[in-house]
Structure 1
Amino acid sequence: MSVSLTFATTLRVLTQVRHDRRTIALVITVPSLLLALLRFIFVDRLDIFDQIGLMLLGIFPFTSMFLITSVAMLRERVSGTLERLLSTPLHKLDLLFGYALAFAALAAVQAGVACAVAYGLLGLRTQGAVVTVLLIAISTAILGCCTGLLTSAFARTEFQALQFMPAIVFPQILLCGLIWPRDQMSSVLRIASDVMPLRYAAEAMSEVGTFPLPTTRLWVDLVVLAAFAVATLFGGAATLRRQSN
């Protein structure tokens, strides 16, 4: 790997994203608008808004980065850009880490705006610090980016890439504890959720909502998220080919 090539890839991806103003607008504004909608739905039950809204601050970055990264990488595969890049001294991990850093930066902006709206305008209340929420959100965004890089290898069109969202994201949302507490699920569902990374993101957010300082469980959850991200990143590297079939 080369640090200079990795950051060059990051700069290239950010430059491409910067020219897509509609995507930037959607990525930054949609989570805040959804949180505002949720706030009005639970206008008389702010305790529910505090719980669900906090978890969504960790789920939104994963979902949006998964979609954007999978489509962006697929375009590079289909257009031949990926093959040309890999014919240069650029290493596979330079490319993947560059993508991860670029979309992590975009996710940091998204999470920052969403947290500012949630805490400043919507009155979200948590025991833990906003900085911890941002750390978890960026961690899930990097995981979403790595997962999108991996799944893009199994799609041939952008429509197919989008179809991975119901298969990969929705089950995690249903089983992470957002819809129903995990301790009240059947043992089979709890075991299934244990191999789904969003379950650890939701648990980490719950820790922030309950305790004023980061707990041991929160740090363990972040380590697990990092392990999932590294595993999917190396899995994505295995799918990259220097020549098209």
Structure 2
Amino acid sequence: MNAARTTATALRVLRQLRHDPRSIALLLAVPCVMLLLLRYVFDGSPRTFNSIGASLLGIFPLITMFLVTSIATLRERTSGTLERLLAMPLAKGDLIGGYALAFGAVAVVQSALATALALWGLGLDVTGAPGLLLLIALLDALLGTALGLFVSAFATSEFQAVQFMPAVIFPQLLLCGLFAPRASMQPVLEAISYAFPMSYAVDGMTQVLTHPDVTSAFFRDTAVVIACALAVLVLGAATLRRRTP
């Protein structure tokens, strides 16, 4: 990877994103709106919101970053932009790294807005430091970015990119421990849940929610999420095709 080429790619993506207000609204506003709706869905049971709000604070950014990243990358590929870029002296790692850097910058803003709203606007009560909650939310958003970049290589249309969501996101959502403790699941499903990064993202949020200090489990969870994001980015660079089908 070349730092200058990666940065130039990231700046180009950010300039294009600036002219796409719908994507900006989806990235920045939707997680906040979903948290707001969730808070008042459980208006009569604030304890319920407090128990699942922290987990969803990480899940909502992951889902939105997955959708926008996969569709935006696919749009560039189907329009021939990626093919023209890769015809230049630009490595696949530079391209994937540039996209990850650009959407990662957006993820920072997205996570900060959602975390601020949850903590100081909606009264989410966490035992740990708010900064740790922001860190996990940011890592979840970056994981969604990496997954979106990866699956975009296997889709031939925006509709197909959206179709990957039930295959990639929904199983993780069901088995991550949000709806039921993973220990209470059928043993096979519990074993499968340990292979999903979203499980560790939810566990990390739970650690911040219930422990005042940083725990070893928190370090483990964050390390797994980071490792999964990096591994998926490497796979995305390896599977990126130089020619558009």
SS in 2 for 1:61: helix
Report matched runs for 1:74-113 at 5 Å.
74-113=74-113
For 1:114 and 1:12, the matched residues in 2 are separated by 26
Return the letter of the residue paired with 1:179: F
SS in 1 for 2:241: coil
Question: Which residue in the other structure is 1:47 paired with?
Answer: 47
* Conserved 8 A contact 2:57-2:115: yes
1:228 paired to 2:228: yes
SS in 2 for 1:195: coil
SS in 2 for 1:51: helix
Question: Which residue in the other structure is 2:191 paired with?
Answer: 191
Q: Provide structure 1 residue ranges, at least 5 long, that are not aligned to the other structure.
A: none
**Alpha-carbon RMSD:** 1.2
Distance apart, 1:159 and its partner CA: 0.4
The change in CA–CA distance for 1:182 and 1:25 in structure 2 (over 3 A counts) is: same
For 1:34 and 1:166, the matched residues in 2 are separated by 19
Moved more, 201-210 or 32-41: 32-41
SS in 1 for 2:243: coil
Distance apart, 1:111 and its partner CA: 1.2
Distance apart, 1:2 and its partner CA: 0.7
Moved more, 104-113 or 200-209: 104-113
Return the letter of the residue paired with 2:161: A
Question: Which residue in the other structure is 1:8 paired with?
Answer: 8
SS in 1 for 2:29: helix
Question: Which residue in the other structure is 2:17 paired with?
Answer: 17
For 2:241 and 2:27, the matched residues in 1 are separated by 30
Question: Which residue in the other structure is 1:237 paired with?
Answer: 237
For 1:38 and 1:154, the matched residues in 2 are separated by 33
% same residue: 53
Distance apart, 1:192 and its partner CA: 0.9
| Matched pairs, number | 245
Q: TM-score, normalised by structure 2?
A: 0.96
Q: TM-score, normalised by structure 1?
A: 0.96
Question: Which residue in the other structure is 1:141 paired with?
Answer: 141
Q: Provide structure 2 residue ranges, at least 5 long, that are not aligned to the other structure.
A: none
State the 4+ residue runs in structure 1 displaced beyond 2 angstroms: 241-245
For 1:179 and 1:97, the matched residues in 2 are separated by 34
Question: Which residue in the other structure is 2:128 paired with?
Answer: 128
For 1:186 and 1:70, the matched residues in 2 are separated by 32
Distance apart, 1:114 and its partner CA: 1.0
